[in-house]
């Protein structure tokens, strides 16, 4: 996780602009002077708070770009939440109230005044336009505050199980009814030792009685230290056949400056070793065969290292990973970044099912009655759920953890359950 200077400068502009517009919206029309700490008109509340936030953003910019340990990331995420809880309502209020007043002023210039009768015939107290707009602004500004607070307190731990059933004519009969559970993007450092919460997710996974559990990358934010202590949670994770994993873009230590290549390699090796410690077989551009090869009742499970567009690292080697699987009657690929599927998998291979993660669904979105929206759709072509091209399928998991801010709004952490069936290529709701 890096913090570009462009992002810092954008935050500075947005922060001061929001405070300026908000103050212009709420300031009284009188000429009375107010002391620095007079709430809410004093200069401290309108410019001092903004300055404090900008200073802390600067501190975090330095700390993150030179981080040597994991603690800075959760601290920054909680700082982001504090900032958004204050500035999102301010921004909404300024836009709604200030924008409405501007529209009224424009209309007055082009509209002949007409005397209107009182609609309530004097039965209710009169309310000025200014007060009415202010009350509307308060109501609308409360919405992002309440939503974000819910996402922090409840949304990030509201684990959601999503089911899919996919049938393939080439699926060996041995695997008709095979159940795969996929999880992705744990980002253990973000949980900051919230063992009980992830233990609840483990219980939900075990209740599905999976045959295979696949973890599709981003075990940590950046540091091997983040994995310490999690054995007591993941040791309870059960799968009849086995648990398999791959690396994501955050698992290489590429988002920190290291004193030496040896130090970075040591951190990376610690992350690699953690997969085995947590009970997963890590696939690094390699494959495993599951079932009876002699009877052609087997499938290939293939895992590539991270493959991504810049600025994400590209360590994946699909050709190397696929070297020994061409004769397999059925093939499943684990690849962290869903862009890999369009760029290479469906163009050059015949993998039946690919499992990916990476997007988190941006942790913010809307999904209801078939309608689906998230800011992620503007960055990723395939950002959540099941996709099909001819006879090949991709499932993009929305992630079990979180990064950037400790919240999820309308995009709950996901546990994916996929049942495989033998039959014509098809998908069925479950």
Domain boundaries, the chain: 5-153, 160-428
- Tens of pLDDT, residue by residue over 177-193, are 999 999 999 999 999 88
Question: According to the model, what pLDDT value does residue 409 have?
Answer: 95
**Are residues 171 and 422 in contact, defined by beta-carbon separation less than 8 angstroms?**
yes
- 428 forms beta bridges with 165
Q: Which pLDDT band, with edges at 50, 70 and 90, does 380 fall under? A: very high
Q: Which pLDDT band, with edges at 50, 70 and 90, does 116 fall under? A: very low
98 DSSP 8-state letter: I
CATH superfamily name and code, 160-428: Metallo-dependent phosphatases (3.60.21.10)
Q: Is 95 exposed, middle or buried (0-12, 13-18, 19+ CB in 10 A)?
A: middle
Angstrom CA distances, 217 to 116, 159, 317, 426, stand at: 65, 18, 15, 27
Q: How far apart are CA 2 and CA 207, in angstroms?
A: 38
Question: According to the model, what pLDDT value does residue 123 have?
Answer: 57
Q: Which two tokens stand for residue 90?
A: 């301010």
Q: Which pLDDT band, with edges at 50, 70 and 90, does 112 fall under? A: low
Q: pTM of the prediction?
A: 0.90
With residues binned 3-state (H G I as helix, E B as strand, rest as coil), the percentages for the chain, rounded to 5, are 45, 20, 40
**Are residues 58 and 79 in contact, defined by beta-carbon separation less than 8 angstroms?**
no
Angstrom CA distances, 73 to 11, 150, 228, 255, 280, stand at: 18, 21, 16, 11, 25
Phi and psi at 298, nearest 5°, equal -145, 165
Q: What stretches of 154-237 show up as alpha helix (H) in DSSP? A: 188-191, 195-207, 231-234
Q: How far apart are CA 169 and CA 167, in angstroms?
A: 7
Q: Which helix (H) or strand (E) holds 74?
A: helix 72-93
- Tens of pLDDT, residue by residue over 242-297, are 999 999 999 999 988 899 999 999 999 999 999 999 999 999 999 999 999 888 89
Neighbours of 78 (CB within 10 A): 14
- 393 forms beta bridges with 353, 388
Tell me the angle at which helices 129-153 and 72-93 cross, rounded to the nearest 10 degrees. Answer: 160
Map tokens 């699987």 to a residue: 325
- 303 forms beta bridges with 286, 334
CB contact set of 18 (below 8 Å; sequence gap of 6+): 50, 87, 90, 91, 94
User: What's the mean pLDDT when you consider all of the chain?
Assistant: 90
- Tens of pLDDT, residue by residue over 3-36, are 678 888 999 999 999 988 888 888 776 667 777 7
- Tens of pLDDT, residue by residue over 308-339, are 888 788 899 999 999 999 889 999 999 999 99
Q: How far apart are CA 23 and CA 40, in angstroms?
A: 9
SS3 category, 271: helix
Q: How far apart are CA 319 and CA 321, in angstroms?
A: 6
Lowest mean pLDDT among 47-51, 249-253, 344-348, 405-409: 47-51
Torsion of CA 329, 333, 338, 342, to 10 degrees: -40
What mean pLDDT is predicted for residues 68-86? 92
Question: According to the model, what pLDDT value does residue 430 have?
Answer: 53
CB contact set of 293 (below 8 Å; sequence gap of 6+): none
CB contact set of 378 (below 8 Å; sequence gap of 6+): none
């Amino acid at each position: 996780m890096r913090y570009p200077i462009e992002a810092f400068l954008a935050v500075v502009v947005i922060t001061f602009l929001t405070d300026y517009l908000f103050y212009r919206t709420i300031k009284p029309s009188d000429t009375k002077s107010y002391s620095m700490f007079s709430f809410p008109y004093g200069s401290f509340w309108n410019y001092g708070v903004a300055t404090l936030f900008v200073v802390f953003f600067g501190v975090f910019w330095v700390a993150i770009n030179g981080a040597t340990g994991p603690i800075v990331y959760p601290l920054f995420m909680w700082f982001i939440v504090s900032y958004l809880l204050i500035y999102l309502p301010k921004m909404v209020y300024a836009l709604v109230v200030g924008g409405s007043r501007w529209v009224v002023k424009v209309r007055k210039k082009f509209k002949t005044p007409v005397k209107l009768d009182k609609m309530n015939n004097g039965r209710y107290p009169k309310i000025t336009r200014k007060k009415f707009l202010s009350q509307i602004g308060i109501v609308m500004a409360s919405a992002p505050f309440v939503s974000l607070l819910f996402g922090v307190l409840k949304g990030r731990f509201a684990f959601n199980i999503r089911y899919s059933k996919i049938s393939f004519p080439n699926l060996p009969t041995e695997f008709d009814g095979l159940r795969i559970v996929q999880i992705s993007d744990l980002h253990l450092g973000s949980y900051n030792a919230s063992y009980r919460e992830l233990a609840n997710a483990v219980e939900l996974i075990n209740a599905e009685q999976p045959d295979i559990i696949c973890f599709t990358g981003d075990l940590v934010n950046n540091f091997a230290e983040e994995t310490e202590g999690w054995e007591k949670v993941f040791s309870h994770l059960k799968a009849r056949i086995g648990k398999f994993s791959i690396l994501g873009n955050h698992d290489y230590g590429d988002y920190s400056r290291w004193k030496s290549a040896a130090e970075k390699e040591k951190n990376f090796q610690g992350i690699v070793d953690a997969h085995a410690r947590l009970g997963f077989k890590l696939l690094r551009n390699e494959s495993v065969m599951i079932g009876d090869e002699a009877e052609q009742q087997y499938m290939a499970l293939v895992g590539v290292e991270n493959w991504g567009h810049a600025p994400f690292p590209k360590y994946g080697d699909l050709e190397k990973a696929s070297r020994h699987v061409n004769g397999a009657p059925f093939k499943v690929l684990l690849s962290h970044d869903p862009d890999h599927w369009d760029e290479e998998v469906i163009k050059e291979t015949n993998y039946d099912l690919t499992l990916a993660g990476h997007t988190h669904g941006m942790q913010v979105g809307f999904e209801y009655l078939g309608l689906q929206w998230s800011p992620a759709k503007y960055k990723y072509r395939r950002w959540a759920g099941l996709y099909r091209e001819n006879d090949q399928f991709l499932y993009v998991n929305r992630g079990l953890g979180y990064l950037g801010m400790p919240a999820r709004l309308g995009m709950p952490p996901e546990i994916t359950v996929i049942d495989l069936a033998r039959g014509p290529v098809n998908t069925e709701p479950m």
